[in-house]
Structure 1
Amino acid sequence: MSQHAALSVIDVDRIHGRGNSAVHAVRGLSIEVRPGELVAVMGPSGSGKSTLLNLAGGLDTATAGQVLVDGVELGELAPRDLARLRRRKVGYVFQDFNLVPGLTAAENVALPLELDGAKARVARRQAVAALADLGLDDLADRLPQDMSGGQQQRVAIARAVVGERSLILADEPTGALDSETGEQVLRLLRERCALGVAALMVTHDAGHASWANRVVFLRDGAVVDDTGRSAEPESLLAGA
C-alpha cells in the first residue's frame, strides 16, 4: 500500500457475532484510495459495501487488519482523537441524510466546522458557498422538514464536502435525486477530487460508476475485481 494514500484498508476482516453464529461482513479486504481519486464500489446486497464505508470512516472497528486515513491507523486512536480526525478529515453522505431537524440547511452544513472550532461567521460563509455549489443557496435558512428529499440529500452532500476534508465517503449519494441533479452531485465530487480530495462512493448504477477513476467490485465481503481507468480527473470532467 502507498504511504501517500488518503485511505488504506489493509487485509481487513469484520466479523459480527461469535462461534456458529459469526457473520463475516468483510474478509481479507484491501483497498487504497489516493488523493484526487474517485473510487466507486459496486456489488450485490450483503457484499460488504456499507461495512467498508463504516470501517473507512471510523464508525465501525475492524476485527483484524488495518484502516488508515492519511496514514493514521484508526484502530490505534482514542475515542476523542478518532472523533477529531473524523470531523477534520472525513465527510460522509449517508442514505438517510442524518440532518439535525432543528437546524437550518446552513447550520447543518456549518456544524462540523463549528464543532472543530471555526467561528460561526466563517463557518456560515463556507456553508452557504457549499450550498451554492449545489444550487441550494436560496434554501440556506430553511429547516429539513420544509425541504424535499432531494433537497435534503443535497444539503447532506454540502455538509460532507465543506471545509478541507481529505476523504469523502458517499453511500448512494444520488439515490434520492433526479438524473440532472444527480449529475450535478457527481460533477461536484469530481471537482473536489480534482482539488486533491479522495472519494469512495458506493453505487448500484453503472452510469454513476463511470464517473470514477476506478471501480471496485465486492462479493461476499471480498474484492473480486478492481477495474482501473486511464482518464485523469480533468479529462473526466471535460467529457461528462
Structure 2
Amino acid sequence: MSSTEEQRTEAADRAILRLRGVSRVHGQGAAQVHALSGVDLAVLPGEFVAVMGPSGSGKSTLLTLAGGLDGVSSGQVLVEGQELGALSRKSLAAVRRRSIGYVFQDFNLIPALTAAENVSLPRELDGLPARKARVEALAALAEIGIADLADRFPDEMSGGQQQRVAIARALIGDRRLVLADEPTGALDSSTGEAVLAVLRARCDAGAAAVMVTHEAGHAGWADRVVFLRDGKLVDETGPAPVGALLGGRGDTL
C-alpha cells in the first residue's frame, strides 16, 4: 500500500461519518429508482462538508441514510465506528439521540411543546432530568440567537423562527455529527449567515457537519463540497472553485 493510500485509510478510520459503497433503491422491477448508487464518503472530526446537486440527485437520501432514518439497500453507514445497519432499533435510537443532530427541511417540531421543550426532548428521552435538559435547551436557543422564544409554541412563531428552533434541537448536547437539510431555507440572508457561523464553530470545536444546500455562497463555509448527480458522487472540491464548477449559472444549483 502506498503512503497516500495509508494516509487515506488512517483518515477514514478516524471518520465520524463513513459511507462505504452505499446504495438505496426504491421500488421493484421497471419501477425501480436508484436514489443512491455506490457512494463512498468519509467525514472527519472538525470537517464541514456541503452536498450539492440537482433536484432528485440523492442529496436528502444521503442525509436520511447517514442519520439512520432509513436503511441502505447495500453498503454500510458508520457513525463513530458503529455500523447503523447492525444495531437494534433501541441501540439505533440511542445513537441518533446522543451522537447525531438532524435539521429537517420541514422542521418536525412537536406542536404541543414549547421551543425549549422541543429542544430539550432528545436529552430527556436519554434520561437527563428535565431541569438540566431545560438549561441545555436554553443555552442552545441562545447560541442560535432566539433565547426569547423559549416558551413559545410552534404556531406562535414564524417559519424562520421555527427553523432556528429545529437547529437548536440538532445542536443540544455533545453531538459529534450534525446533518442539515437546507438549514437556512426559511431564513433571511443575515440570519442564515449567523446559523452557518454556528455550524462552522461546532466543526472547529471538533464535531463534523454535513449540509445539503443549493446555495454556492453557503457551500463556501464548508471545507469540502461533494457533488451528486443521479445518485452518484461525481466530484468533490474545496469551497473556492464552487462557482466555476457550477458553470457560471449563478449562485444556485
TM-score by length of 1: 0.94
Match of 2:179 in 1: 169
Match of 2:43 in 1: 33
SS at match of 1:192: helix
Specify the code of the residue in structure 1 equivalent to 2:174.
E
Q: Where do 4+ consecutive residues of structure 1 move more than 6 Å?
A: none
1:225 lines up with 2:206 in the alignment? no
Using the alignment, how far apart are the partners of 2:177 and 2:109 within structure 1?
Answer: 20
Give the conservation status (yes or no) of the 8 Å contact 2:221–2:239: no
Match of 2:146 in 1: 136
Using the alignment, how far apart are the partners of 1:132 and 1:17 within structure 2?
Answer: 44
User: How is 1:1-240 mapped onto 2 (pairs within 5 angstroms)?
Assistant: 1=9, 2-228=12-238
Structure 2: gaps (5+ residues) = 1-8, 241-253
Specify the code of the residue in structure 1 equivalent to 2:89.
P
Q: How much does 1:228 deviate?
A: 3.0
Using the alignment, how far apart are the partners of 2:70 and 2:61 within structure 1?
Answer: 8
Specify the code of the residue in structure 1 equivalent to 2:177.
L
* CA displacement, residues 134-173 of structure 1 (integer Å, 9 cap, x when unaligned): 1111111111100011000000000000100010000000
SS at match of 2:39: strand
TM-score by length of 2: 0.89
Using the alignment, how far apart are the partners of 1:199 and 1:8 within structure 2?
Answer: 12
- Give the RMSD, CA atoms, in angstroms: 1.0
Using the alignment, how far apart are the partners of 2:90 and 2:47 within structure 1?
Answer: 28
Q: How much does 1:229 deviate?
A: 5.5
SS at match of 1:169: strand
Structure 1: gaps (5+ residues) = 231-240
Provide the aligned length of Structure 1 versus Structure 2: 230
SS at match of 2:13: coil
